[in-house]
Structure 1
Amino acid sequence: MTHEIPAPITGTHLIEWGYRPGPAFAALLARANTARANGMDMAHIRALLAADRPSPPPPHLPLQREGDVPLHISIRAENPDETDNLNDVLATMREVLRTPTAQAGAIMPDACPSGPLGTIAVGGIVATRNAIHPGMHSADICCSVMMTDLGAADPKMVLDAASTMTHFGRGGRRDGNRFAVEPDLLDAFRANPFLRREKTLHIARSHMGTQGDGNHFLFVGRSRSTGHTVMVTHHGSRGPGGQLYKAGMEVAERYRQQLSPATLPRNAWIPADGPDGRAYWEALQLVRRWTRANHTVLHHAISTAVQADVVERFWNEHNFVFRRNGLFYHGKGATPAWGDHAGDACGKMIIPLNMAEPVLIVRGKDAAHGLGFAPHGAGRNFTRTEHRRRMGAIPPAALLAAETRGLDIRFYGGEVDTSELPSAYKRADTVLRQIDEYGLAEIEDYIDPFGCIMAGNTPCPDRNSRDRAA
Structure 2
Amino acid sequence: METSVQIEDILTLGPIPESLQTPFLRVANGLMQRASFPKEKVMGLLAQMLHNPKKFAFSKNKVTNLAQAVYALNKQGIAVPLSEIGLTYLPPEPAPYVLGVSEKQADRTVDLRTDSLPYAVFGREQIEEGALKQMETAASLPISVAGALMPDAHQGYGLPIGGVLATEANTVIPFAVGVDIACRMCLSVFDLPPAFLKRQPDLLKKALVEKTKFGMGGETREKFDESVMDLPEWSATKVIRDLKDKAYRQLGSSGTGNHFVEWGIVDVPEQDDQLGLPPGEYLALLSHSGSRGFGGTVANYYSKLAMQKTRLPKQAAHLAWLDLNTEEGQEYWIAMNLAGDYASANHHEIHRKLAKALGEKPLTMVENHHNFAWKEQLADGRDVIVHRKGATPAGAGVLGIIPGSMTQPGFVVRGRGHADSLNSASHGAGRLMSRTQAFNTLTRSQWNTALREADIQLIGGDLDEAPMVYKNIETVLDAQRDLVSVLAKFTPKIVRMADANRKEGRED
TM-score by length of 1: 0.74
How far apart are the structure 2 equivalents of 1:113 and 1:459?
21
Q: Where does residue 298 of structure 2 map in the other structure?
A: 244
Judged with a 3 Å threshold, the aligned counterparts in structure 2 of structure 1 residues 270 and 406 are, in CA distance, closer, same or farther, namely: closer
How far apart are the structure 2 equivalents of 1:321 and 1:192?
19
RMSD between superposed Cα atoms in Å: 2.5
Secondary structure of the equivalent of 1:382?
A: coil
How far apart are the structure 2 equivalents of 1:295 and 1:212?
12
How far apart are the structure 1 equivalents of 2:160 and 2:319?
12
Q: Where does residue 349 of structure 1 map in the other structure?
A: 400
Q: Where does residue 289 of structure 2 map in the other structure?
A: 235
Deviations 1:338-379 (A, max 9, x none): 15xxxxxx7211110111121201101121111110000000
Q: Does 1:329 align with 2:369?
A: no
**AA at the equivalent of 1:63:** L
Report the CA distance between 1:138 and its aligned residue.
1.6
Decide whether the 8 Å contact of 2:191 with 2:283 is kept in 1.
Answer: yes
Decide whether the 8 Å contact of 1:99 with 1:263 is kept in 2.
Answer: no
How far apart are the structure 1 equivalents of 2:110 and 2:502?
45
How far apart are the structure 1 equivalents of 2:454 and 2:329?
50
Please, which of 197, 209, 214 is the counterpart of residue 257 of structure 2?
A: 214
How far apart are the structure 1 equivalents of 2:313 and 2:472?
40
Q: Where does residue 211 of structure 2 map in the other structure?
A: 165
Aligned pairs (5 A) from 1:41-440: 61-67=110-116, 69-77=117-125, 82=126, 85-115=127-157, 119-129=158-168, 130-152=170-192, 154-155=196-197, 156=201, 157-173=203-219, 177-179=221-223, 182=226, 185-193=229-237, 195-198=239-242, 200-225=243-268, 226-257=280-311, 264-325=316-377, 326-338=383-395, 347-391=398-442, 394=443, 396-405=444-453, 407-412=455-460, 417-436=462-481, 439-440=482-483
Deviations 1:82-122 (A, max 9, x none): 4xx4322111111122222111111001011014xxx2111
Decide whether the 8 Å contact of 1:185 with 1:286 is kept in 2.
Answer: no
Judged with a 3 Å threshold, the aligned counterparts in structure 2 of structure 1 residues 59 and 310 are, in CA distance, closer, same or farther, namely: closer
Q: List 4+ stretches of structure 1 deviating above 6 A.
A: none
Please, which of 469, 477, 501 is the counterpart of residue 458 of structure 1?
A: 501
Report the CA distance between 1:211 and its aligned residue.
0.7
5+ unaligned residues in a row in structure 1: which ranges?
1-56, 340-345, 462-470
Q: Where does residue 73 of structure 2 map in the other structure?
A: none
Report the CA distance between 1:236 and its aligned residue.
0.6
**AA at the equivalent of 1:234:** H
Report the CA distance between 1:180 and its aligned residue.
6.3
Report the CA distance between 1:186 and its aligned residue.
4.2
How far apart are the structure 2 equivalents of 1:251 and 1:194?
15
Report the CA distance between 1:171 and its aligned residue.
1.5
**AA at the equivalent of 1:132:** V
Report the CA distance between 1:126 and its aligned residue.
0.9
Judged with a 3 Å threshold, the aligned counterparts in structure 2 of structure 1 residues 268 and 308 are, in CA distance, closer, same or farther, namely: same
Q: Where does residue 92 of structure 2 map in the other structure?
A: none
How far apart are the structure 2 equivalents of 1:121 and 1:301?
35
Secondary structure of the equivalent of 2:128?
A: helix
Decide whether the 8 Å contact of 2:107 with 2:308 is kept in 1.
Answer: no
Matched residue count: 376
Deviations 1:114-138 (A, max 9, x none): 14xxx21111011100211101112
Report the CA distance between 1:60 and its aligned residue.
5.1
Rg: which structure is higher? 1
Report the CA distance between 1:207 and its aligned residue.
1.0
Decide whether the 8 Å contact of 2:407 with 2:456 is kept in 1.
Answer: no
How far apart are the structure 1 equivalents of 2:420 and 2:300?
32
Q: Among all aligned residue pairs of Structure 1 and Structure 2, give the percentage whose two residues are the same amino acid.
A: 27
How far apart are the structure 2 equivalents of 1:457 and 1:312?
32
Secondary structure of the equivalent of 1:196?
A: helix
Decide whether the 8 Å contact of 1:161 with 1:302 is kept in 2.
Answer: yes
Judged with a 3 Å threshold, the aligned counterparts in structure 2 of structure 1 residues 146 and 303 are, in CA distance, closer, same or farther, namely: same
Report the CA distance between 1:406 and its aligned residue.
5.0
Decide whether the 8 Å contact of 1:188 with 1:286 is kept in 2.
Answer: no
Secondary structure of the equivalent of 1:213?
A: coil
**AA at the equivalent of 1:245:** A
**AA at the equivalent of 2:136:** R
Judged with a 3 Å threshold, the aligned counterparts in structure 2 of structure 1 residues 243 and 354 are, in CA distance, closer, same or farther, namely: same
Report the CA distance between 1:242 and its aligned residue.
1.1
Deviations 1:62-87 (A, max 9, x none): 211233x122111131xxxx4xx432
Judged with a 3 Å threshold, the aligned counterparts in structure 2 of structure 1 residues 263 and 386 are, in CA distance, closer, same or farther, namely: closer
Judged with a 3 Å threshold, the aligned counterparts in structure 2 of structure 1 residues 460 and 203 are, in CA distance, closer, same or farther, namely: farther
Decide whether the 8 Å contact of 1:139 with 1:246 is kept in 2.
Answer: yes
Report the CA distance between 1:162 and its aligned residue.
1.8
5+ unaligned residues in a row in structure 2: which ranges?
1-105, 269-279, 378-382
TM-score by length of 2: 0.69
Report the CA distance between 1:243 and its aligned residue.
1.8
Report the CA distance between 1:189 and its aligned residue.
3.8
**AA at the equivalent of 1:336:** P
Deviations 1:198-243 (A, max 9, x none): 2x01211111111111111112111222211110000010011012
How far apart are the structure 2 equivalents of 1:137 and 1:90?
18
Moved more, 164-173 or 275-284: 275-284
Judged with a 3 Å threshold, the aligned counterparts in structure 2 of structure 1 residues 188 and 348 are, in CA distance, closer, same or farther, namely: same
How far apart are the structure 1 equivalents of 2:121 and 2:335?
31
How far apart are the structure 2 equivalents of 1:137 and 1:243?
13
Q: Where does residue 50 of structure 1 map in the other structure?
A: none
Decide whether the 8 Å contact of 1:170 with 1:459 is kept in 2.
Answer: no
